[in-house]
Structure 1
Amino acid sequence: MVQVETRPPRQTSAPASHFIHTVPGLLVVLALAGAAVPLGRLIPVVGGPVFGILLGVATGALAPALRGEWSRPGYDFASKYLLQASIVVLGTGLSLRQVVEVGGGSLPVMLGTLAVALGGAWLFGRWLGVRGDTQILIGVGTGICGGSAIAAATAAIGAKRTSVAYALATIFTFNVVAVLTFPTLGHLLGMSPEAFGLWAGTAINDTSSVVAAGYAYSQQAGDHALVVKLTRSLMLVPIVLGLVILKSRREAKASVQTGSPQQQGTSAELAGRKLPWRKMVPLFLVGFLAAAGLRSAGLVPEAWQPNLSLLGTFLITSALVGIGLSLRLSELRKAGLRPLLLGAVLWICVAASSLGLQQLTGAL
């Protein structure tokens, strides 16, 4: 009898297998992002990222089959890794030279409004019962740069999908209100182009809305508002670092409280040590600073900026599509209108404090 040698089937390597599993869901995400980005360019006040999460939520609700186990790896990949990649690409739009040109006159207003936003989020969030990830994301989004800041904070702390949706909805609502009201209010107050640009750059969240309000006031106001907005975006670095450190220390403390006596001893020792820099400084934040450095050094040609901006928008929109596809409408109903109310209070406080700080510093 002839013996036939049989060989076990070749097994796909773990990384390749993981990538294969992400493809179906990722294709759904990219298709919806391909529709959301043009819609965002058609209606800039809304923007591609907001359209992305709206299309994701609507598609998931209307076609539940797209929420099967076959699609989840792709959605998770988009909401994590594409989100981080978007922050790196967005860094190419920040020139450190422009930050220096803004000067010390604008810095007190920017730092003051950031402190008002973060402090207000903590205080009013406790009062309204809006806590945890939602409280953090609304505060960071209002204080720094809207959707980009929400994306960076989400990548840093792994925020819940519902918190991301609430924060984006809140930021979007008051972006629209600001674009419609700020130019009229600026003229009624008799603000100079520089004063209005500083006000718009510190009190309006997303870049597209800052540009819309600034240039609606005047060309000079729009130019100044955009530079202030880019400088404000640099505040992402210390805030994200702070969030990462806070999250790591909380996790270490939780492991001390829940582990066995031996584990508690080990975790307590770890909690007492300094955190390793790899945990303190997320890789996407290093990429963001490197991209800004390349732009500042003149190694990113100006002609590339439109395409890089479009790529960054597409990546963040894809990430939010993935988050939207994973959301359940029932999850959004639980918090009611309290997050929106928190956003309203913070927006009013930031807008008012920006004017007050300009008055105090002589910029108004």
Structure 2
Amino acid sequence: MTTAASRATPAATPAGRPPRVSPARPLPGLALCAVAVALALLVNHVAPVMSPLLVAILLGAILANAVPLPATLAPGLAVAAKPLLRAGIVLLGLQVVLGQILGLGWGMIAVVVAVVGLGIASTLGYGRLLGVPAGLTLLVACGFSICGAAAVAAVDGVVDADEEDVATAVALVVVCGTVMIPVVPLLVGALGLSPYAGGLWAGGSIHEVAQVVAAGGALGGGALAAAVVVKLTRVLMLAPVMAAISWRRRRALAADVSAVGSGGGRLPPLVPAFVLGFVAMVVVRSVLPLPAPVLDGARLLQTMLLTAAMFALGCGVRLALVRQVGARPFVLAALSTVTVALVCLAGVTLTT
């Protein structure tokens, strides 16, 4: 059968050698990501409550739905969505200080573990009941229970999820996490929680680090510091969860290879390299007295890398796709959000 691709393939060279295929050039897509990063950082500078990561996701979604993106942008967007994002996740480890996490006390650390564990388990159960595809359910479960879009992309790096599922999960993180920014402070006041307890709840229940910062800042007092430390404790859970998912995938692939009687299948690593890098940065940050300029530079670079990745992921959010998936993923996202928030609230109430 003659395809369009085969018709476009040039003939062999006179010497009989196959034609040279031009490699994909990532520069146009990366240049667009750089412009988006600059705009997102500018918006964040003017309005600090607007996280550059969230601004980048919105910019990508608006652009992708307003105009058809040229195919020449795809290689650069792919680089931003995976290699650059993984590098950003590695640098994210420099924000996590084990001493600060231990300072929360074992009770609150147990609450964070419960939030992540019960959040993932319950969301997987909701997904099965609702008939949401397993891949999308796993992305939502980890994104909503750990650290938002970065966790969604990390799972994608382990299981190679469907591109449409990744875009849908990122869109759900943006919608639900943004709704939580004003809702949590309002509920903290209605429930009579102290600013510190409110900060613990915000850090344990809101999806993105930037969303947690916005909600914690609105609570005032010592809420922001408490919220950030609890959220970074959830971020630390990224390493064991990704290792567990990778281990399960290895077992599934090994079983498939055994079933078909072929030994040629290549299994994924037990722990992805970017997860090992993240853990290494946590150790470095926790044991070495890194100077402030190094930490500030690493934080800026991490923000830029993750912002570029969020823009690339945002470019995959299509309104037609959101309409196509129907209401069930939104119901799943709402149930997951409420479950994580209730588990954390119960834990905070018991430990404070």
Letter paired with 2:197: A
Say if 1:152 and 1:265 are closer, same or farther in 2 by CA, change over 3 A: closer
In the alignment, structure 1 residue 71 sits paired with structure 2 residue 61? no
Q: Which residue of structure 2 aligns with residue 52 of structure 1?
A: 56
Q: CA deviation at 1:312?
A: 1.4
- SS at 2:222 equivalent: helix
Contact kept, 8 Å, 1:46 with 1:176, in 2: the verdict is: no
In the alignment, structure 1 residue 339 sits paired with structure 2 residue 336? no
Contact kept, 8 Å, 2:167 with 2:316, in 1: the verdict is: no
In the alignment, structure 1 residue 351 sits paired with structure 2 residue 341? yes
Alignment counterpart, residue 136 of structure 1, candidates 113, 135, 138: 138
In the alignment, structure 1 residue 152 sits paired with structure 2 residue 154? yes
Inter-partner Cα distance in structure 1 for 2:164 and 2:48: 24
Q: Which residue of structure 2 aligns with residue 249 of structure 1?
A: 251
Letter paired with 1:209: Q
Alignment counterpart, residue 298 of structure 1, candidates 265, 271, 288: 288
Letter paired with 2:28: P
Q: CA deviation at 1:125?
A: 0.7
Q: CA deviation at 1:282?
A: 1.1
Task: After the TM superposition, list the runs of 4 or more consecutive aligned residues in structure 1 that deviate by more than 6 angstroms.
Answer: none
Say if 1:320 and 1:207 are closer, same or farther in 2 by CA, change over 3 A: closer
Say if 1:124 and 1:84 are closer, same or farther in 2 by CA, change over 3 A: same
Bigger mean CA deviation after superposition, 296-305 or 85-94 = 296-305
- SS at 1:279 equivalent: coil
- SS at 2:325 equivalent: coil
Q: Which residue of structure 1 aligns with residue 7 of structure 2?
A: none
Superposed CA deviations along residues 264-308 of structure 1, whole A, max 9, x for unmatched, are 1526xx89xxx7xx7011111111111112211234323443432
Greater C-alpha Rg: 1
The aligned length equals 334
Say if 1:318 and 1:114 are closer, same or farther in 2 by CA, change over 3 A: same
Letter paired with 2:243: L
Inter-partner Cα distance in structure 2 for 1:210 and 1:34: 23
Say if 1:46 and 1:254 are closer, same or farther in 2 by CA, change over 3 A: farther
Superposed CA deviations along residues 199-222 of structure 1, whole A, max 9, x for unmatched, are 111111212222222232232122
Inter-partner Cα distance in structure 2 for 1:138 and 1:118: 8
Q: Which residue of structure 1 aligns with residue 235 of structure 2?
A: 233
Say if 1:128 and 1:67 are closer, same or farther in 2 by CA, change over 3 A: farther
Say if 1:316 and 1:101 are closer, same or farther in 2 by CA, change over 3 A: same
Q: CA deviation at 1:48?
A: 2.4
Bigger mean CA deviation after superposition, 160-169 or 338-347 = 160-169
Contact kept, 8 Å, 1:52 with 1:318, in 2: the verdict is: yes
Say if 1:133 and 1:103 are closer, same or farther in 2 by CA, change over 3 A: same
Q: CA deviation at 1:41?
A: 5.0
Say if 1:201 and 1:88 are closer, same or farther in 2 by CA, change over 3 A: same
Q: Which residue of structure 2 aligns with residue 311 of structure 1?
A: 301
Inter-partner Cα distance in structure 1 for 2:214 and 2:183: 11
**What 5-or-longer segments of structure 1 have no aligned partner?**
1-7
Inter-partner Cα distance in structure 2 for 1:161 and 1:329: 15
Q: CA deviation at 1:58?
A: 3.2
Inter-partner Cα distance in structure 1 for 2:180 and 2:147: 14
Letter paired with 1:52: A
In the alignment, structure 1 residue 363 sits paired with structure 2 residue 332? no
Bigger mean CA deviation after superposition, 300-309 or 40-49 = 40-49
Letter paired with 1:141: G
Contact kept, 8 Å, 2:25 with 2:76, in 1: the verdict is: yes
Letter paired with 1:315: L
Q: CA deviation at 1:103?
A: 1.7
Contact kept, 8 Å, 1:215 with 1:221, in 2: the verdict is: yes
TM-score relative to the length of structure 2: 0.85
Q: Which residue of structure 2 aligns with residue 120 of structure 1?
A: 122
Say if 1:37 and 1:289 are closer, same or farther in 2 by CA, change over 3 A: same
Say if 1:321 and 1:183 are closer, same or farther in 2 by CA, change over 3 A: closer
Inter-partner Cα distance in structure 2 for 1:110 and 1:50: 24
Superposed CA deviations along residues 196-248 of structure 1, whole A, max 9, x for unmatched, are 22211111121222222223223212221211111121100110111212223
Letter paired with 2:60: G
**What 5-or-longer segments of structure 2 have no aligned partner?**
1-14
Contact kept, 8 Å, 2:135 with 2:165, in 1: the verdict is: yes
TM-score relative to the length of structure 1: 0.82
Contact kept, 8 Å, 1:98 with 1:231, in 2: the verdict is: no
Contact kept, 8 Å, 2:147 with 2:208, in 1: the verdict is: yes
- SS at 1:266 equivalent: coil
Contact kept, 8 Å, 1:49 with 1:147, in 2: the verdict is: no
In the alignment, structure 1 residue 221 sits paired with structure 2 residue 211? no
